[in-house]
Amino acid sequence: MNLFRYDSPLMQLLSRAADLIWVNLLVLVCSIPVFTIGASLSAMSSVIYKILHHEDVMVTREFFKAFGKNFKQATIVWMIIFLIEGVLAYDVYYSRQIGTAFSEAMKTVAIVMAVIVFALMLYIFPLQAHYYNKTKELFKNAAIICVVHPIRTILMIAVQAFLVALGVLIFFDYKFIPLLVAFGISLPWYFCACIYMPVFDKLDGVDQFGNKIAPETFKRESDPSEEKEEPDPDESAEDEVTEEEEEKS
């Protein structure tokens, strides 16, 4: 087997690595204003979805298309999450300063809540990139998936925690900083996508290549701007009967 054929496993692996590096750089650049982090994560989720389904995706075009399309809602969602996590982080800091038994209990509660919100975030942006839902429904659906698939949720948190810890260690050795710049965000999100994607595919009734394998169990809502009104069959039948009666008369 020729390892350097375009369809060889080696070249497919290198191609996927290149896509992840590029999307990681796009996320870093587009997240500089901070409030755009949500739109960047949503756009990255859209790109990773297509990569995992073996679609020929043009990373830059798909990223900015999804970035602009989901910008408003993703920004609102991100600001809600950022505010909640900020309050919980302050609670942890303040509880440590007090140092009483009650404050230690409050610190534990705040940490647990912060982890739960983080777990919701891991589902919210992929859901927001793949489905059309109101903001309230995004949080609701993410919570449902967290509860229904606890093992997947725990695995996703573990992946993120492991890679974050590894990133912190690497950060202190400047030789490895390029690895963080290349894969620091996209790689953990890619692994998480590998964990939650079977859930999405089951809901959509498709396999990993996007082919239908079962009746659709979750109807994906369409973009309101793209909806077209279809004629009502009953009204059409009534119109035809009326026309026939007029012709007879």
Q: Are 156 and 163 in contact (CB under 8 A)?
A: no
DSSP 3-state of 202: helix
Whole domain around residue 228: which residue ranges? 9-248
pLDDT tens track for 203-220: 887 665 556 564 444 444
Residue 198 falls inside a structural domain: yes
Rounded CA separation 40/31 (Å): 6
Residue 2 falls inside a structural domain: no
Residue 80 falls inside a structural domain: yes
The H or E element spanning position 14 is helix 9-30
Residue 213 falls inside a structural domain: yes
Residue type, 243: E
Number of domains in the chain: 1
74-104 burial, b if ≥16 CB within 10 A, otherwise e? bbebbebbeebeeebeebbeebeeeeeeebe
Q: In the chain, pLDDT over 90 holds for what percent of residues?
A: 51
Q: Which of 42-46, 71-75, 132-136, 168-172 has the least mean pLDDT?
A: 168-172
Higher pLDDT, 212 or 89: 89
pLDDT tens track for 232-241: 555 454 555 4
pLDDT over 80 at 169, yes or no: no
